């Protein structure tokens, strides 16, 4: 188990990363010494991965969890919970609010439209979690202490009128992921080869995305194009999509490895 200074020196490559990690570790210490639930703001996938390493190094994995309001949330909070709570109780106690944006039936709005309008309120991205778009509008997860402000001021996305209601978290509308099955062959189960096949990218482009930290394996960034993948691994390429490896099969006559996968669309 490492102390705060050791963790910051090990993981804090930039000033922003050091600030993020220092805040995270302070929240953990407060939970441990004062005995109540603490939490970060909403974290991006990259921030989540960095915080996960810090949680492991400080020995807090037994009283910490990542939660964004539903399983497989992309953005969420790191929660630290005291001994008298278990993980499920901590999830129920998370300071999250669900706001439902209702649009007119004839209007078409995308995730980008809702997010852009929210950022137009001059609020920080870290107070807004996932935005789940559906036929009636969108379900928006926010920090509890920002809910009333957003309810009062969020009335438009672009030129399209909206109305907002507050809903119980249990009523969150999570659309089932639409998946397509695919298959192909790769020279090897390397991350760059597999990502290129699944997402239709030139291999050089896949390598560049990996090296820039835009590719995640099982929700953790991977900067190594040569990493070997296994059946069941989940891939995320930022701005492109998500996929899961179903199976590696036999070899082709040319020595290529057959691969089956499902991809979110």
Q: How far apart are CA 176 and CA 173, in angstroms?
A: 9
Nearest to residue 210, comparing CAs of 188, 227, 189, 185?
A: 227
Residue 176 near residue 210 (C-beta atoms within 8 A): no
| Pick from 242, 232, 230, 233: nearest CA to 199 | 242
- Give the pLDDT confidence score for residue 71 in this predicted structure: 87
Sheet holding 156-157, edge to edge: 128-134, 137-143, 96-103, 160-167, 156-157
**Single pTM value for the model:** 0.84
**What gap in Å lies between CA 217 and CA 68, rounded to an integer?**
19
The three-class DSSP label of residue 101 is: strand
pLDDT per residue of the chain (265 residues) written in tens, 0 to 9: 899 999 999 999 999 999 999 999 999 999 999 999 999 999 998 899 999 999 999 999 999 999 999 988 999 999 999 999 999 999 999 999 999 999 999 999 999 999 999 999 999 999 999 999 999 999 999 999 999 999 999 999 989 999 999 999 999 998 777 789 999 999 999 999 999 999 999 999 999 999 998 999 988 889 999 999 999 999 999 889 899 999 998 888 888 999 999 998 6
Give the number of residues written for the chain.
265
Q: Put residue 219 in one of left, alpha, beta given phi > 0 → left and psi -120 to 50 → alpha.
A: left
Euclidean distance between CA atoms 99 and 194, whole angstroms: 38
Alpha carbon distance 165, 151 (integer Å): 7
Q: How many other C-beta atoms can be found within 10 angstroms of the C-beta atom of residue 31? A: 22
């Amino acid at each position: 188990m490492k102390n705060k200074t050791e963790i910051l020196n090990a993981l804090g490559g930039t000033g922003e990363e050091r600030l993020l990690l220092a805040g995270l570790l302070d929240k953990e210490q407060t939970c441990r010494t004062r005995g109540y639930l603490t939490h970060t703001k909403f974290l991006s996938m990259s921030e989540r991965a960095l915080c996960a390493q810090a949680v492991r190094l400080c020995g807090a994995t037994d009283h910490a969890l990542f939660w964004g309001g539903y399983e497989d949330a992309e953005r969420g909070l790191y929660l630290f919970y005291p001994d008298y709570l278990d993980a499920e109780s901590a999830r129920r106690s998370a300071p999250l609010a669900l706001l439902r944006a209702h649009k007119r039936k004839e209007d078409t709005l995308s995730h980008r439209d809702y997010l852009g309008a929210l950022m137009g309120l001059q609020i920080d991205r870290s107070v807004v979690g996932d935005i789940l778009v559906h036929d009636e509008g969108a379900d928006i997860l926010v920090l509890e202490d920002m809910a009333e402000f957003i309810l009062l001021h969020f009335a438009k996305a672009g030129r399209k009128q909206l109305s907002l209601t507050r809903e119980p978290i249990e009523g969150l509308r999570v659309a089932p992921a639409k998946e397509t099955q695919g298959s192909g062959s790769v020279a090897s189960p390397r991350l760059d080869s597999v990502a290129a096949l699944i997402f239709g990218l030139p291999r050089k482009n896949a390598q560049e995305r990996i090296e820039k930290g835009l590719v995640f394996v099982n929700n953790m960034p991977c900067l190594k194009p040569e990493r070997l993948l296994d059946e069941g691994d989940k891939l995320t390429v930022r701005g492109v999509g998500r996929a899961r490896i179903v199976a590696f099969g036999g070899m082709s006559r040319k020595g290529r490895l057959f691969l089956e996968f499902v991809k979110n669309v």
